[in-house]
Every structure is written in structure tokens, then in C-alpha cells.
Amino acid sequence: MTPNAAAAKAALSHIEMDEAPAAIRSKSRDFFWYSPILKERLDHLEAEFVVNPKSEAEVIEILKVCYAHDVPVTCRGAGTGNYGQAMPLSGGCLMHLKNMNRVKEIHPGRVIAEPGIIIKDLDAQTRAESGQELRMHPSTWATASIGGFIAGGSGGVGSVTWGALRDLGNIIRLRVVTMEAEPRVLDFRGEELHRVSHAYGTNGIITEVEMPLAPAYDWIDTFVAFEDFREAMEYSDGLANNPGILVKLISVYEAPMAKAYFQRVKAHVTEADTLVGIMVAPQSLDGFQTFSARWPNARIIYRSDDLQWDRSPGPVFEHGWNHTTLRALKFDPSITYLQVRYRFPDHIELVEKVRAEFGAEVLQHLEVLKESGRICFAGLPLVKFSTPERLEEIVKIHEEMGCMIFNPHRYTLEEGGRQSADQRQLDFKREADPKGLLNPGKMITWDEPDFDYAKIYAYKGMLPKPEAAE
């Protein structure tokens, strides 16, 4: 351990810590191994110590002590991100917010909670007390924290109705602690939210969240099978454009994904079946069935309320979003993925162009969502990985066709986003983290304002690999 980290750790010894090497290693990791590129670069990373504050006061103390000792602090929720969001590139202190898991207030339409609560637990409490739940959550609902979702996620189950997490109104308020000699506590609303949401904890630590709620219905899970991919895609687009039919999820899985990778589904589909996974509100079931009956080739093969299977497939949403890739990886470790935005109004034609270009090398997995109020697709296609160069080429071809790519094979904010500085995030980092100690290496424009994005950013402060260190 570096002398600085040792001194900071000693000064914080009254706060709960993880001491076991296995725990420290596991707390230093997320789902970065979805990407062969990130796996190669980040696999060796480890924090020097892991601290688990129980309160905002303890967070302030940790930030103050680490500031005094020049120790980097990387904050983490449950570590369910895929891009190394919460992995400590420079070692130092890993701050895990799992103990900050209280629900503080529940009101009609909103909840105030600490950031470390697991989304499933948060939903359970708001449902029990008020019949409400979060508007949206990642497919890692059962394990992810709300703070981690806000700091490192972008949308998910529910985005077909509510749009993205960053859309106005989908976060109400964030309380943030700065990393200065005397940390400040700030409440952000409105435009200010963009300073710290989806900032990977690079410019402040979220200690309280206020989120809008939606009604917690007993969602009906259903799978609908089609033999034609385009028909499945048009059905999904059409269903989402029926505002009277309340859905929470519409996912499209190109054949043979369901047969090949969905363990509990495979007995019920063929190699040729494209599958659509849907969550529909009970009061909208009639509308859903009426709509589906207009598609003579749509086969409703599963309904959690009625048409059940001997072995339940589990929640439909645990087949969607990033869980699709996870399921495929279990069967075929050579698979990786991309994150594509197919924008309205060209989304359907664009997917067809991409399919025609790549065929089975890039299997289509679409999530229906709203962008600027219009229904379109987020693509999380399964990519048969060959070489990093081919992966780069696949990204380039997508971009040339007019797709927007959020590259999941990068560990910085800019490369995973729009490949440009977010001035609001950078400006706030200057205020809130003058020493640049918060999750270092994740905001390129802090380190190298003139970076040209020609190839993957290599953070100079990254811990050397053990081989290189020998």
C-alpha cells in the first residue's frame, strides 16, 4: 500500500472496512469483462482499501481525509456497471455505499432515499407503503443500487414509457458532497442535475436521491414469437405507439438468440424464432391481446398470468437490456456487444441496413424506448468477437450508416458517450474536485483536453499491470 493510502486508511479506521483480499478484489471490479477490450486493460485493478460509510457525515470524513492525503476515491454502488465505471484506475480508496440504504420519505409520485439501496429493496418499500415503484430500472434490478444507476446508467426497463434517465423529470434532486479541504454538501435540481448524473462519481459523491415514482402494477410478463425479424420489429414499434396500452418493456431478440441462449425459453421456440419480451400492465392486457391479434403471425407463447410453463423463465426483464449479453456470454465467451441508437424516424430501416451488412456477426437485440418523445430503438447487438481491429471496424461501419454508438469498450465518460467534453461536468469537477482525486482517469477532458478520440484513451495514471511491474 502506498504511504498515503496507508495514512488515510489509518485515519479512517473507525469506519467499517472490508479487509479480506478477496473482498477488496471483488469490490474493485464490475461487469467490465463483458468487453474483451476492457478485460485486457482493467483486469488487474485493485483498490488499496475499501471503506463502507454509513452516513453522509462519514462520506464527508472519508473525502476530507483522502483529500488531505492525496488519495484517489472511487465510489461504487453494487458494481453492476459494464464499463469499469467504478473501477479504481489508480488504486487508492474504494468507497462502497451499500450501508447508505435507507428510504427517507415516500410521497405520491416521488421518493427520497440514500444512494446505496438496492433498487429491488427500494421498489419493495415504495410498493408496500404506497403502491408505487421507480419509473425505470436496469435489468440488474435485483442487485444494482439506485445511486449507481444514476451515476453510471442511462435508462432501461421503463424507458419505453418514460424515456431516458437523463430526460427532464426522470431525476428530481441529487444531494452531492464535494472533495475539498472542507467538503460542501449541495442539492442539485433542474439543469444542475446534468453536472453529476452519469458522471461516474468523478465530480462529487451522491448522498441522497429524490426520484419520481410510477404506479407499481402487477406487471404481466409475456413472450411473443415471430418467424420474421422485420415483422417482430414492426410489431414492437407499433405496440409502443399505442399510448393506451401501458407497457414497461418491449425487447426484440433476433433468431436464434432465444433458442441458443435463453435456457428456460429454448424448449418453446425454434432456431428461426425472433422473440419479443414484453411487460404489460394488467389493465392493458385486453388491449395488448387485441393489438397482437391484428398480427396473424404473432404467437403469444408465454404469459405469466395464464399461459405458464413447467419451469418459469423468471422475469422477462432479466432477458433484456444488459442481461441479454450476460446470458449469451454464459454459452459463448467469444460474444461481446455494442450499444447503438437507431433514431426515429429511420430506426426500422437503419436496423435492416445493419442486418444486411453484418448478418450473424452482429445479431440484433433491440430495446424499444422513447427519445425526444418518439419511439425508437436502443440496440445492444450481440457481436461475435474476432479481433479488436474488427470490433473497431464494426463500430465505424455503424457510424457511417448513421447509427449513434455509445461504445461499451471504453472506460471513460467521453468515449462511452458522444466523444466530446461535457462542459457542465468538467466545470463542476473544477469546483468540486480541485485535486482531481475522484475516480481519476474517467474524464478525459480533465487530463487531456486535446485528446482526439482516434483510438482508445490510455490513462497515464493507471496502475501498471503486474507483469509490467515485475
Which residues contact a copy of itself by CB under 8 A? 107-110, 131, 135, 161-163, 167-170, 172-173, 189-191, 212-215, 217-218, 240-246, 281-284, 286-291, 293, 345, 370, 372-375
Q: Is 340 helix (H, G, I), strand (E, B) or coil?
A: strand
Are 94 and 51 in contact by the 8 Å Cβ rule? The answer is: yes
* 221 contacts 315 by C-beta, under 8 angstroms: yes
Task: Describe the chain by its helix, strand, coil percentages, rounded to 5.
Answer: 35, 20, 45
Please say which residue, 288 or 446, places its beta carbon nearer to a copy of itself.
288
Nearest-approach distance from CB 164 to a copy of itself, in angstroms = 8
**Which cell is 152 given?**
453510471
**Which CB sits closer to a copy of itself, 215 or 333?**
215
Sign of the CA dihedral 329, 335, 338, 343? negative
Which residues does 202 contact at the CB level (< 8 Å), separation at least 6?
413, 425, 429, 433, 438, 439, 442, 443, 446
Cβ atoms 281, 246 nearer than 8 A: yes
Supply the minimum distance, in Å, between the C-beta of residue 36 and a copy of itself.
Answer: 35
| 438: three-class secondary structure by DSSP | strand
CB of 186 to a copy of itself, least distance (A): 16
Q: Kindly tell me which of 26 and 297 has the beta carbon lying closer to a copy of itself.
A: 297
Of the pair 287, 314, the CB lying nearest a copy of itself is at: 287
| Least distance between a copy of itself and beta carbon 270 (Å) | 29
Query: What 8-state DSSP symbol labels residue 82?
Result: S
Cβ closest to a copy of itself, residue 251 vs residue 412: 251
The amino acid present at 344, given as its one-letter code, is F
Q: Examine residue 108 and say whether the peptide bond preceding it is cis (omega within 30 degrees of 0).
A: no
Nearer CB in complex with a copy of itself: 303/442: 303
419-424: long-range contacts (C-beta < 8 A, 24 or more apart)?
419/453, 421/445, 421/449, 422/194, 422/199, 424/191, 424/194, 424/195
Pairing of strands 274-280, 247-253: antiparallel
Q: Report the distance separating Cα 141 and Cα 139, nearest Å.
A: 5
Provide, rounded to whole angstroms, the least separation between the CB of residue 132 and a copy of itself: 8
Closer to a copy of itself by Cβ: residue 65 or 240: 240
Q: How far is the CB of 167 from a copy of itself (least distance, A)?
A: 4
Q: How far is the CB of 66 from a copy of itself (least distance, A)?
A: 32
- The smaller minimum CB distance to a copy of itself, of residues 108 and 449, is found at 108
b/e per residue 82-117 (b: at least 16 CB within 10 A): bbbbbbbbbbbbbbbbbebbebeebeeeebbbbbbb
Q: Which amino acid is at 133?
A: E
Q: Name the DSSP class of 304.
A: T
Least distance between a copy of itself and beta carbon 313 (Å) = 24
d(CA 278, CA 301) in angstroms, rounded, equals: 12
Distance of alpha carbon 432 from alpha carbon 148, whole angstroms? 19
Other beta carbons within 10 angstroms of residue 41's beta carbon come to 21
Task: Tell me the C-alpha distance between 11 and 15, whole Å.
Answer: 9
Measured from the CB of residue 198, what is the shortest distance to a copy of itself in angstroms?
14
Distance CA(175)–CA(403), nearest Å, equals 35
**Residue among 157 and 328 whose Cβ is closer to a copy of itself:** 157
- Which amino acid belongs to residue 150? I
Question: Looking at beta carbons only, is 241 or 334 nearer to a copy of itself?
Answer: 241
What is the side-by-side strand order in the sheet with 365-371? 299-303, 220-226, 274-280, 247-253, 365-371, 374-379, 340-342, 404-405
- Our CB check for a copy of itself shows the closer of 68 and 128 to be 128
We find the least distance from the C-beta atom of residue 159 to a copy of itself, in angstroms, to be: 9
Residue 366: CB minimum distance to a copy of itself, A:
17
Question: At closest approach, how far in Å is the CB of 374 from a copy of itself?
Answer: 7
CB-wise, 14 or 294, nearer to a copy of itself? 294
